[in-house]
């Protein structure tokens, strides 16, 4: 099959790499891509958020499948226009993508589906925000209701900082969702959906803060690893039965079937499993780690989802290795990232055993030299027999790459590698109460 991948980042580079490993995929194109993607497949410059431009390119290339990577084209209706034109598409419709495009909508869906999540209030002015903050108390969790590229969330003990973030969202014309704080480690699980059937990928964990020990502001993600040796037994089955399948069923019931990948951002709290957020696409940088281990042909999986045929997919195959992805970010990220800085050493990193580099914010300058072109510049992925070896390989690769002002975390997957991930204690009665109260914890108050 011939596949067109829409998007410019590291997630799309990982998807392109996975598609090229599929023996049934004979040709891959990307739009707009980046310098790393362009070294692998033909790229096409366009406005990825313009449904007509994307559809025209799909027609010109006569592709068999379109994979929409980022959230913005989904919310802009790119998938809808492609489907109207007769193309199989991996990516939800505009209405279904509202699961990510509006956190308030996602809360409504979770309430309807009985999905366990944090209690929340939606605020449209500073008075409502202040009241909600006082209801839940510190730590304060304030989320921009709309798309924010993973950086629209503030978690703080400082009430004034929380109010300031809410005010900035109001001034931009939006609303905020204010939630109770969820304790416990976080887990990301991608679930493929064809609108009815769901197929889970391997769980991962990512690291949102810019600095080690989870210090500093939130980012789009500074690293990830998969699988999770410390995850409770039966976690994936629980997520499917309590979160993913009920959500997909609810979306179908609403007349907006969800076709694509449902990103379940989860917290394993002292009260049991809770959903932090949904995304309507592959998460970045978890995708870089998860797809590095997938051995089932990716193109066939995505096509099965696009055509409503996931029920016929065989059990997924995975390499027994562990994957760690470490992100290199530009100077001044996540505030105002500096661009056009030279990047060196990628060939050396790629030459290491068990290491590959995935580009995100990269481009070629007028002299054909590789330069930074975004906040998160690239990710170094290490594969190893265990988490310790995978980390060593990823960081060995990162040590060979030079970017002036570049910054990366030194502690990606460190706690897990040394067995220091702590799960909150739950007694049996509390766990049972948590399960029976799923619908009440999925409330959304306005």
Q: What is the pLDDT of residue 102?
A: 87
Q: What are the φ/ψ torsions at residue 204 (nearest 5 degrees)?
A: -140, 170
135-174 confidence digits (pLDDT tens): 999 999 998 887 655 557 888 899 999 999 999 899 988 8
- Residue pair 354/324 in contact (Cβ under 8 Å)? The answer is no
The CB-side HSE value for 317 (13 A sphere, CA atoms) comes to 6
Neighbours of 384 (CB within 10 A): 19
Q: Can you give the residue ranges of every domain in the chain?
A: 2-93, 119-181
Mean predicted confidence (pLDDT) in 122-127: 92
Q: What is the pLDDT of residue 148?
A: 55
Q: What are the φ/ψ torsions at residue 419 (nearest 5 degrees)?
A: 70, 35
Mean predicted confidence (pLDDT) in 48-52: 98
How far apart CA 79 and CA 76 sit, in angstroms, is: 8
Q: What is the pLDDT of residue 442?
A: 36
- Residue pair 33/43 in contact (Cβ under 8 Å)? The answer is yes
Look at the alpha carbons of 308, 309, 315, 321 in this order and tell me if their dihedral is positive or negative. negative
Q: Which segments of 313-446 are extended strands (E)?
A: 322-329, 343-344, 355-359, 362-364, 370-372, 376-384, 402-403, 444-445
Length of the chain: 446
197-237 confidence digits (pLDDT tens): 999 999 999 999 999 999 998 899 999 999 999 999 999 99
Domain 2-93 belongs to what topology? Rossmann fold (3.40.50)
How far apart CA 69 and CA 199 sit, in angstroms, is: 18
Q: What angle do CA 240, 244, 249 make, to 5 degrees?
A: 115
User: Hey, which CATH number is domain 119-181, 2.40.110.20, 3.90.1640.30, 3.30.1490.20, 3.10.270.10?
Assistant: 3.30.1490.20
Q: Which candidate, 153, 145, 183, places its Cα nearest to that of 266?
A: 183
Terminal CA-CA length for the chain:
47
How far apart CA 260 and CA 250 sit, in angstroms, is: 15
- Residue pair 324/335 in contact (Cβ under 8 Å)? The answer is no
Mean predicted confidence (pLDDT) in 31-47: 98
Query: How would DSSP label each residue in 417-443?
Result: HTT---PPP--HHHHHHHHHTHHHHT-
Inter-axis angle of helices 159-171 and 126-136, nearest 10: 150
Q: Is 70 helix (H, G, I), strand (E, B) or coil?
A: coil
Q: Which candidate, 266, 194, 261, 187, places its Cα nearest to that of 230?
A: 187
Q: Which has more pLDDT, 275 or 149?
A: 275
Confidence of residue 446 (pLDDT cuts 50, 70, 90): very low
Chain mean pLDDT for the chain: 93
Mean predicted confidence (pLDDT) in 237-256: 98
Contacts of 33 (CB under 8 A, 6+ apart): 5, 7, 8, 12, 16, 41, 43, 44
How far apart CA 143 and CA 154 sit, in angstroms, is: 7
How far apart CA 396 and CA 58 sit, in angstroms, is: 40
pLDDT surpasses 60 at 348: yes
371-389 confidence digits (pLDDT tens): 999 999 999 999 999 999 9
- Three-class SS string for 145-205? CCCCCCCCEEEECCHHHHHHHHHHHHHCCCCEEEECCCCCCEEEEEEEEECCCEEECCCEE
């Amino acid at each position: 099959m011939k596949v067109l991948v829409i998007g410019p980042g590291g997630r799309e580079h990982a998807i392109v790499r996975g598609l090229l490993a599929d023996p049934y995929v004979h040709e891959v194109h990307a739009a707009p891509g980046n310098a790393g993607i362009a070294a692998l497949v033909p790229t096409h410059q366009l406005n990825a958020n313009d449904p007509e431009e994307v559809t025209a390119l799909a027609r010109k290339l006569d592709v068999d499948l379109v994979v929409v990577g980022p959230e913005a084209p989904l919310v802009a209706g790119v998938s809808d226009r492609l489907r109207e034109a007769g193309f199989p598409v991996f990516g939800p419709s505009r209405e279904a993508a509202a699961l990510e495009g509006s956190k308030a909508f996602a809360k409504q869906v979770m309430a309807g589906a009985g999905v366990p999540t944090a209690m929340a209030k939606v605020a449209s002015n500073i008075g409502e925000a202040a009241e909600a903050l006082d209801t839940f108390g510190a730590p304060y969790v304030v989320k921009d209701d709309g798309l924010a590229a993973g950086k629209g969330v503030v978690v703080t003990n400082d009430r004034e900082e929380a109010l300031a973030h809410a005010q900035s969202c109001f001034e931009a014309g939006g609303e905020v969702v204010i939630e109770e704080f969820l304790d416990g480690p976080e887990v990301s699980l991608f679930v493929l959906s064809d609108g009815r059937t769901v197929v889970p990928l391997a769980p991962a964990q990512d690291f949102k803060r810019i600095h080690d020990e989870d210090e500093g502001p939130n980012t789009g993600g500074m690293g990830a690893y998969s699988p999770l040796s410390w995850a409770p037994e039966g976690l994936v089955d629980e997520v499917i039965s309590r979160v993913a399948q009920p959500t997909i069923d609810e979306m179908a019931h609403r007349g907006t079937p969800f076709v694509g990948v449902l990103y379940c951002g989860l917290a394993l709290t002292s009260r049991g499993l809770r959903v932090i957020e949904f995304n309507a696409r592959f998460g970045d940088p978890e995708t870089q780690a998860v797809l590095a281990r997938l051995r089932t042909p990716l193109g066939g999986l995505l096509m099965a989802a696009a055509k409503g045929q996931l029920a016929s997919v065989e059990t997924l195959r995975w390499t027994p290795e562990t994957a760690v992805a470490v992100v290199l970010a530009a100077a001044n990220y996540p505030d105002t990232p500096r661009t056009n800085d030279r990047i060196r050493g990628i060939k050396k990193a790629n030459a290491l055993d068990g290491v590959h580099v995935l580009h995100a914010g990269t481009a070629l300058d007028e002299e054909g030299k590789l330069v930074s072109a975004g906040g998160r510049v690239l990710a170094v992925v290490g594969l190893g027999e265990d988490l310790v070896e995978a980390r060593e390989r990823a960081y060995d690769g990162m040590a060979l790459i030079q970017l002036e002002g570049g910054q990366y975390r030194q502690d990606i997957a460190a706690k897990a590698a040394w067995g220091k991930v702590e799960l909150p204690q739950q007694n049996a009665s509390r766990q049972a109460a948590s399960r029976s109260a799923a619908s009440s914890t999925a409330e959304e108050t306005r």
